[in-house]
Amino acid sequence: MADDRLLRYAYMRLTRELDARFENLLLTGRVAKWYSEVGHEATTVPAGLALESGDSLCTLHRDLGAILSVYLDPARTFPGLGFGEPDGRRPEPADLLYKLTCQLLGRRDGFSHGVERSFHYGYFAPEAGICHVGMISHLGAMIPVAAGCAFANKQSGGDRVAINFIGDGGTSTGDFHEGLNMASVWKLPLVLVIENNRYAFSTPWHAQYATERLSSRGAGYGMAAETVDGNDPDAMATALAAAVGRARAGEGPTLIEAMLGRLRGHSVGDDSLGVVPEEDLERYRAEDPVPAYAERLVAENVLSAAAREEIESRSAALVEEALSAALEAAPPDPRIAHRSVFAVSGTPPAYPLGPFPGEPEEKSATAEPAETTYVGAVNLALTEEMARDGSVIVMGQDVGVFEGAFRTTRGLFARWPERVLDTPISESGTLGIAIGAALLGYRPVVEMQFADFITCGFNQLVNVAAKLYYRWQAPCPIVVRLPSGGGVGAGPYHSQNPEGWFAHTAGLKVVCPATVADARGLLRAAIRDPNPVIFCEHKFLYRRIKESLAPEAEPESLGAARVRRAGTQLSLIGYGATTWTCLEVAEELAGEGIDAEVVDLRTLVPLDTETVAASVRKTGRALIVHEAQTTAGFGAEVAARLADVAFPWLDAPIRRVGHADRPSPYAKVLEAELLPSRGKVTAVARELIAF
């Protein structure tokens, strides 16, 4: 068997060859941008080689070496050098490099078929043991996601690990703290490698952080940490082997700071290299790890002239073959731009870890329907789905022993302590972990203590979870439960209705149940859905409405509105708590001889436009009521669609009644002044009838 050092050099040389060719393509205008890894190979290649089949690799711009060493079988990539027997599970090197170069060039045959740029893709090949989670441009955001992959590995009972990279600049983000803190608290098998080239984009280290070494932060999280010479692949391999060993042994995460020289700008040719003092730049060039390592191996009689020639010629040939074919490959089919943002029911996980432990539990339902509150229905749905499916996990602040701020998780921790997880106050970290776990086959249900707090995790939802299926065709089955809405005098930070924020983001489903039965049925459907679902539970309804629920009931369907009361003269359209307002108004109008129909949207995304339009075509009048602020509230979208599909049937303008464009005040008398009250809705309804 060949020396491990020879294997490191082979991958480092192949990485440099591909990198150099893309730098040339940039200079000739055949690619618009290139993020070079030159100078990082001694850090990234050992990281990739430290992983085994089933582990997770989470990369950034400058981690090509890790990608190649994870993807490619060394025996087939460098035949004749004694790198063991071929691994038949891994793709052929030529095929893989062609697909990769197509990705980097934006061709149809790339991993994302032209949807994503360069290294922003994900590649999931369970049969080959490859789980590669790419990046988003918001640096630091993928650390919690990588922690989620590590969580899934630990939760499934195996010894798989996740390695993630971050630059020195990204260590200043909140997600760096949240991801590492949660990884340490939960002892997750995560290795985070900081590629510290001291300048982020162009900001020198002393303007980014005050500590002498970024590895010193590890002590604050209670995790192992060290600083390593990132130009020394042997030192990196030793540090990574120890970190991976700790992770596999259940000893938790490790933070490795790899010190590197800045040899290129943030992207090639962006002039950011000019911030590096010339004397430092000269030193970094002298320490360039690829030629320096080759010289060391020659001196140590590890790299013979014949082996060096074989590695260099083979690297050049592989890259030339792949790149020549990719440059001639077809551009993306324009129809790809319109591919769905939603996975269909039954879509398998991107990288399934199952089967999950345990069989579906027997139902212990009573024979007769039982009267249940809205909050009880939420609890019932969680209980039913956790009993049915071992991949369902519940996480959030105080959801375990305390059983939730609103007691929606009552009894769950006692029954499934390993699947009901209390989290720190860490919305972004929790959501990122849920996303990573979902990619590997789990179905996380995350409770925000109040809907208002979702802003602290906004990026994970709108830029990671929402876009995954469109970008990578990877389903992300998470449910985020939001106790939302006003009417209880909770003030501006505990009363918001954020559904419009998420309805605007392609790739998120948004559900707003109004009834006890829907709280149960729609939540069960949301948990089974293969997409991220924002589930808005109006807390005013939690204990104010009751309904008898059958012990056996199938999940409802997402995307189906429902006519709650039939009528012929006016359509009152609401969702959540305003459905009840509409029903009260319809009852009052009936006493005046006005026959109003009430339509409950139930699901905002996908929206059942046809049911709403059919009602308006029948009545000729539409009044939309929602508790969110009026300007840009979801009612505007409903109104726009009705103007498109029902305009010839309208006998009056489409009207909306929403919350005044103000934050929600604390004093109930002030709050009531701004809410879409029964009186306000009735007054506008009368105006429409008289029109």
Active site (catalytic) residues? 494
Q: Which two tokens stand for residue 106?
A: 């934006």
Within its chain, how far is the Cα of 549 from the centroid? 34
Structure letter (DSSP) for residue 335: G
Q: How far apart are CA 247 and CA 299, in angstroms?
A: 35
Q: Is residue 528 within 8 Å of 387, Cβ to Cβ?
A: no
Rounded to whole angstroms, how far apart are CA atoms 416 and 504? 35
Question: Which residue, 350, 348, 340, is CA-closest to 148?
Answer: 350
Q: How far apart are CA 424 and CA 404, in angstroms?
A: 13
Question: Which phi and psi angles does 302 have, rounded to 5°?
Answer: -95, -35
Q: Would you tell me how many other CB atoms lie within 10 Å of the CB of residue 581?
A: 24
Bridge partners (DSSP) of residue 277 are: none
> From the CB of residue 564, how many other CB atoms can be counted at a distance below 10 Å?
19
Cα–Cα distance, 54 to 249 (Å, whole number):
16
The DSSP output letter for 337 is: G
Peptide bond just before 331 cis, omega within 30 deg? no
CA distance 413 to 163: 30
- Rounded-to-integer distance, Cα 650 and Cα 654, Å: 8
Distance from C-alpha of 143 to C-alpha of 147, rounded to nearest angstrom: 6
**Cis before 355 (ω within 30):** yes
Q: Exposed (0-12), middle (13-18) or buried (19+): which is 679, by Cβ within 10 Å? A: exposed
> Could you tell me the end-to-end alpha-carbon distance of the chain, in angstroms, rounded to an integer?
88
What does DSSP say about strands 622-629 and 655-659: parallel, antiparallel, or unpaired?
parallel
What proportions of the chain, in percent to the nearest 5, are helix, strand and coil?
45, 15, 40
| Bridge partner residues of 603 (DSSP) | 511
Amino acid identity of residue 559, one-letter, is G
Sign of CA dihedral 68, 69, 73, 79: positive
Q: Is there a contact between 97 and 105 (Cβ–Cβ < 8 Å)?
A: no
Tokens of 424: 């720190």
Query: What is the number of alpha carbons within 13 Å of residue 628 lying toward its C-beta?
Result: 23
Contact indicator for 6, 307 with CB cutoff of 8 Å: yes
For residues 433 and 442, is the Cβ–Cβ distance under 8 A? Answer: no
Instruction: Please list, in sequence order, all residues whose beta carbon lies within 8 angstroms of the beta carbon of residue 455, skipping any fewer than 6 positions away.
Output: 498
Q: Which residue has the tokens 């924020």?
A: 501
Alpha-carbon gap, residue 570 to 690, rounded angstroms: 11
